[in-house]
Structures are given as C-alpha cells and as structure tokens.
Chains A and B, each alone.
Chain A
Amino acid sequence: MKVTIVMRGTLRKVYGYDEQVVEVPEGSTCAQALEAIGVHYKEEPKFGFVSVNNMRCMIDDELHDGDYLKAFSKVFGG
C-alpha cells in the first residue's frame, strides 16, 4: 500500500525532505513505515509524536492505503 510520510519541524532538516510517498506492506504500523525510510524514532531525540490524517495516534497504530502520516519534532514553550 502507499502512504505519504511528512516531516514536521526540525525533522524536516534532519532528514532533508518535507514529504514523500512510500510503498509499505499491508498492515504496517506508523513505526514500521518510519523505519522503512530510515527514521529510527526510538533513537531520534528530536522525535515528538505522529499523526495520521491530521489526528494524533500511537506509534504502533496500523496504517491504511492512502494514509497521510506526519512525524512531528518536539516543540517547546507556548
């Protein structure tokens, strides 16, 4: 299936792109999709949270064809 992966905040600079469409196996989780493009979120101190289709979700949630996965860096302050 195809999903769009978007980097937000500092992650854009760290990984060098804003957005890319990737092919991942059916049943892949957010974590697996990110790992597939080299985003090792567990080792990435700048990593914050993920959302799918503009809704925050858990890193182990399953993706579906056409999903829009965003990875946010941590932000500070308010």
Chain B
Amino acid sequence: MTQTMLGYQNKVLRIDLTKKGCSFEPLRMDFARKYVGSKGLAIRYMYEELEPGIDPLGPDNKLFLTTGPFTGTPVPCSGKLSIAAKSPATGTMNDCSVGGHVGVRVKYAGYDMIIFEGQLDKPGYVLIDNDKIRFMDAEHLWGKGSHEAEKILADQYGPEYSILSIGPAGENLNIMSCINCDYYRQAGRGGIGAVMGSKNMKAIVIRGTGGVKVNDIEGTTKRLFEILRNDVVNDDNQFIFDDGTTAFLEACNDGGILPVNNFSDTTDEKWTEYNGEVLNSYRQGKRGCGSCGLGCGNFLKIGNAICEGPEYETIAVAGPNAGNRDPEKIVKFNEVCDNMGLDTISCGDTITWAMEMTESGRHDFGIKFGEADKMIEYVEKIAKLEGVGADLALGTKKASEKFGGEDIAMQVKGLEYPQYEPRGSWGMALSYAVSDRGACHMRAYAPNEEVFAASIPPYTPEGKGQMVYNLGEFNAIKFSLCICDFWGTIDYAIMSELLTRVTGVEWTEQDMADVGRRVLNIGRAFNQREGFNRAHDTVPKKIVRDALQNGPAAGQVIPPEAFEDMLNQYYEIMGWNQDGTMPDELVKSLL
C-alpha cells in the first residue's frame, strides 16, 4: 500500500557526508503503513539499507533520525526522536529515543526522517535550517565536552535551534558513547555516539519553522484536550511530574530489585540517604519535552554538581550498585557522563564490574566499591581512553573476555544491564535476553507486572513468555508512535483513535497489536541476518548461580532450566524456531 497519510511530511532528507551533498525523496509509505514511524520505521529502513556484516564504525553504517506521525502535533508526550544505527557495542540493530525538542524541529523542518551516510573527511557539523543544508567546520569544537560544544553552538545560533552533539567519548569511538540533545537529554545506548563520531560529525544543528498537516484538526484538537485532561494529566501519571523517575527508587528498593554492588545483592538499608526526597530538595527547576503534558525532567544542583535528573538508572548505578550513598557524587557522575558523552548505564556498570573484579582479587583495576570520587575520575579516563580507562572503554563484554570475570559481567549481547535485578523479577531476565539491542529495560518492562502491580508472581518462569511478549508488543507500537514511556495509561484504543484522526486513514486496535508484533520481528530479522540466534539470548552467570542474600527476594536465584523454559515460551509465542531463528516465511511477511 502506498497511500499517503496526513501527519507525515512524506519527505526524507538524505545527507551524504562524504560528498557533502544531500537529496530529498518521498517517505516509503508502504513502510509507514506497516511500521508507522519512529522506532519501527527506523528499523525497517535499516533492514532495507544496511548490508549485513558492515562495520558499525565504517562509512557504510548510516545514522537514522526518525520522527512519527504524531511528532509536532498536539498529541501529548509525542515530542521524542528516534536515533538509530547498527550498534558498535553489540553488532545488532540499535534504536534510541531522545527527548527535548529536536524531534519537533526535524518534523517542522519538513522531514519524517533524516539519513546520514558516509563520513566527513575532517571534524565538522551539519547545519539544517529547514531545506538549507550546510556542512560546517568543527575543528574548534572537537575535543570539547558535549555541554561546552553545545553552548558554543547555542550561543551562535540561538534558541530556535536544537543541537545534537557528541562528547570526547563519541569522538574516540567509545562503544558506550551517547548523543546529547538540549544539554541534558541523551540517545544513550549501544554506542550511538560512536557512530556519529565515526562520521567525524561533532554536532547536528537544526531549525524547523514549518508545521505538519493533521487530517481533522478541529476534531482532533478537541478530542486531544479531553484526553489530556482525563488520561494524561491525571493522578495516575502525576507521580512523574512530582518526583520524576526518582519515584522508582523506593519501589525498587522495597520490591527487591534495586541492585547493590554490581548486582551482588538487592535492597539497600541506606536508600533514604539518596532517595527522591533528598535529591528533589535540591531541585532548581522542571522541564518537559516538545508536546509534553507531564514534564518529568528535574534540574538539580548539589554543591558544584548539576544535571537534569539524575534518573533512576543513574541513581542506582552510581549509588548502591557502586557502593555509594552520597547524592552529590551521584549527580556529579551524571554530569560528567553527560559532558563526556557516555551512557550512564553502560559506563556505570563497567566501573562497578571493575570494582568487583578488584575486590574479588581477579584483576586490580584500582577501584573498589564506595570509591565515588574515583568513579567520577574514571568516567573521564574512559571517555578519553586514558590509562585504565582504555581497558574499561571496552565495556563489560570485551573487557571480561580480556581480563576474566565474564560470569560477573552484567550484559547481554554486549549491552550492559539496566538497574533492575532479575532475581527479584524473573521476567526481566527474559526481557533483557530477547531484547533486540542487548540488555534494555525499555523493550519489555517486567517489574510493572511482577513487582509494581503485583499481578504476576515474580519468582517463577510460568507465564513469563506471554508477559514479556505482551509488554514488548505494547512498547514496540507505543515507541513507533513516538509516545513517551511515561504516558503510562495510554492503550491501544487511544493509540488507534489518535492515529486515525491524525492520518485520516482507519487504524484499529488490532492494527496496533499487529504493528507492535511486526516491529519486534523486524528487529530480530535484522539481527538474524547478522548471525544472532538463541546462543546470544543470554543471562549473566551470576543470575543463575548465586542466590540473593538480602531483601524480599533473598534466596532467589533463577535456575538455568527456568531461564531456558522462559526462552522456549517466548520463541513459541513469536513463532520462532527453538534455536532462536525465524522461519523464512515470517521474515518475508515483514517486508
């Protein structure tokens, strides 16, 4: 089907960095009908355009900036942008979601998608001002922190422009590097910053002054106000404005899934020293993304440390998982990671792994649990590949292959674990294992069911295949619509209604489910072409070997056969073979 739908610009900007040229082309509406936008659309384009086996840090990899049909419309919580490429950390597909206002600006510049190809011959940045594209020199920015570089560009171009930038980590092709946006938002995972760095592209500066056409603007707007009042800005979602993701800390601590000392245990009796109440007492201000109705962002300043956040993940990894309880050090870790352009989860997990390696006497990385100042110093070393930082910049998978300690390396496919302990939420072990980009909590968030809603028993494999599938299908379409995770009460009825109103084409609730399933499958298909199968859907040995000692999940360990059982369930539901591969007919049906 090639039907044109409103809500889209029907335009792709393709930028050739090698030739310093660009071209415009129509959006593949057949792709949009099957994959909607943002996440799903980006993966479908990656499948189409990235040859199997390419070097993620070579000129053949491409960087896809992708919006969705809601981007730039008044649909609440729709302002995010997908940034995707083949991952240098995992070799899999990788799509990241970044907040701020850049998504809206890409759309208002006239594009559904911007694709960067090739490599600049020297450090530069790309200036996109609606339909005018310029290739600018960035010698004066190269080597600078992401915040410093962004400030220089922001001072030069002003507040109408959004800036995506990388720090020294991305320049140095660090596989844990991220892309920063609007100072404190990140496309964080899978080394996406290194892909930008490999293209010698320090920044992307973009302004869009157009708009986007919606099918029934009057009816849609009226309905959106109802939805905003009744389903977005309500008591159920209010916690995210009041507390941000610090709200998760107490729930995770009491729920037995807050990791301590590199996932050696859970539940920290000192959690009140750095909880939301403490952190938010230093709040300087709030911020939301484009079209946001919730405003989760907290600006904190403690001493000389400042950041937007810290989000739950960063609190946990730089807090109890590193043996640290000083909130100022947590904020400083966050600030330095952002400025250096490093993903706090992967960088944090790698350092906590090094702490355990040192304390257990396996290899002396010169850092132990609780050494928070040193942890912050190590961030800069990792970004700049200095001293011990050069070894740790390998990430936990490659570093453990070199130094030992694979059993305590908390990663899947080379992507480090987010901060939810699977022994307290067994479904999370499955979720991390089958996630298409390696261990990611945003694919299927098992604690929602197993802990926070207490709707499914956490310490059993029973029913976990279906649970992880349901959660994954839902997030796959939600993120393909570019809807923020924190609109927690949205459902398929609202999604399909809004998509129908905006595009002028009928979408049903079943369509939402079908797109979600398709998105899960196209990610898997991409990875399969790269050689991934069941052997790569793994769980760290620690999780299936060592029982937790403390907290409500004390005594819990996931038996290996239980993990395999969960995998079998999931593969069966997905229609995959038991070796984790996909039948040819299934792959063909995706194209």
Could you tell me which A residues sit within 8 Å of B by CB distance?
8-10, 13-14, 46, 48-49, 51, 54-57, 59, 70, 72-78
Select from chain A the residue with minimum beta-carbon distance to B254.
Answer: A51
B183 CB, min distance to chain A CBs, angstroms: 22
Interchain CB contact (< 8 A) of A78 among B235, B271, B447, B551? B447
B residues within 8 A CB of A57? Answer: 552
Bound complex: CA A14 to CA B442 (Å): 29
> Would A54 and B254 count as touching, CB distance under 8 A?
yes
Q: How far is the CA of A70 from the CA of B418 in the complex (A)?
A: 26
**Is there an interface contact between B452 and A48, defined as CB atoms closer than 8 Å?**
yes
Does B237 interact with chain A (Cβ within 8 Å)? yes
B242-278 residues with Cβ-Cβ distance < 8 A to A are 245, 247-248, 250-251, 253-256, 267, 269, 271
B interface residues with partner A (beta carbon < 8 Å): 235-240, 245, 247-248, 250-251, 253-256, 267, 269, 271, 312-313, 418, 420, 441-442, 445, 447-448, 451-454, 485-486, 488-489, 551-552
Residue of A nearest to B445 (CB): A78
**B-side contacts of A78, CB under 8 Å:** 245, 248, 312-313, 418, 420, 441-442, 445, 447, 485
Q: Which residues of A contact B254 (CB under 8 A)?
A: 51, 54-56, 70, 72
B235, B248, B442, B486 — which one has the most chain A CB atoms within 10 A of its CB?
B235
Q: Which of A49, A59, A73, A76 contacts B451 (CB 8 A)?
A: A49
The 9 closest A-B pairs by CB, nearest first: A76-B488, A51-B254, A77-B485, A56-B552, A49-B454, A55-B552, A10-B235, A56-B255, A9-B239
Pairs A–B under 8 Å by Cβ, sample size 28:
A8-B250, A8-B251, A9-B239, A9-B251, A10-B236, A10-B238, A10-B239, A48-B251, A48-B452, A54-B254, A55-B254, A56-B254, A56-B552, A59-B454, A70-B254, A72-B250, A73-B239, A74-B448, A74-B453, A74-B488, A76-B237, A76-B485, A76-B486, A77-B488, A78-B248, A78-B312, A78-B441, A78-B445
The distance in angstroms between the C-alpha atoms of A30 and B69, with both chains bound, is 46
Chain A CB within 10 Å — which of B245, B454, B551 has the most? B454
A75 touches B452 (CB 8 A): yes
Q: Which residue on A lies nearest to B485, using beta carbons?
A: A77
Chain A residues in 8 Å Cβ range of B485: 76-78
Instruction: Choose one: A46, A51, A59, A76; the contact of B255 (CB below 8 Å).
Output: A51
- Give Cα A18–Cα B420 distance, bound, in whole angstroms: 27
The listed residue (A10, A54, A76) touching B448 by CB distance below 8 A is: A76
Are B452 and A72 in contact, with the CB atoms below 8 A?
yes
When the two chains form the complex, which single residue of B238, B256, B269, B486 contacts A77, counting CB atoms closer than 8 Å?
A: B486
Residues in chain B near residue A46, CB distance under 8 A: 235-236
